[in-house]
Structure 1
Amino acid sequence: MSGEPNPNCDPLYGRVDALLEQLTKSKSLHILMILDQKNRALRFSEIKDRVDASSTTVSRRLGELIEFELVERTKMREESKTHEYAITEYGKQLSPIMHAFYDWVEQKNSF
Structure 2
Amino acid sequence: MHTLSKRDTPIRFNELKRSINITSTTLSRRLEELVDVGFLNREAFAEVPLRVEYSQSEKGKGLGKILSDLFSWMSENLNHSEEKSN
TM-score, reference length from structure 2:
0.82
What SS does the aligned partner of 1:94 have?
A: helix
Matched residue, 1:86:
55
- For these two proteins, the number of residue pairs brought into alignment is 79
Distance (Å, rounded) in 2 between the aligned partners of 1:79 and 1:56: 22
Q: Mapping of 1:49-68 within 5 angstroms? A: 49-68=18-37
Work out which of the residue numbers 31, 41, 50 in structure 2 matches 1:72. 41
Distance (Å, rounded) in 1 between the aligned partners of 2:65 and 2:57: 14
Q: Structure with the greater relative contact order (CA < 8 A, sep ≥ 6): 1 or 2? A: 2
What SS does the aligned partner of 2:2 have?
A: helix
Q: Percent of counterpart pairs with the same letter?
A: 32
Work out which of the residue numbers 9, 13, 31 in structure 2 matches 1:40. 9
1:4-50: CA deviation from partner (whole Å, max 9, x where unpaired): xxxxxxxxxxxxxxxxxxxxxxxxxxxx1111111111110011011
Q: CA deviation at 1:62?
A: 0.2
Distance (Å, rounded) in 1 between the aligned partners of 2:67 and 2:42: 21
After superposing on structure 2, the runs of 4+ consecutive aligned residues of structure 1 that deviate more than 4 Å are none
Structure 1, gaps ≥5 residues long: 1-31
User: Relative to total residues, which structure has the larger helix share, 1 or 2?
Assistant: 2
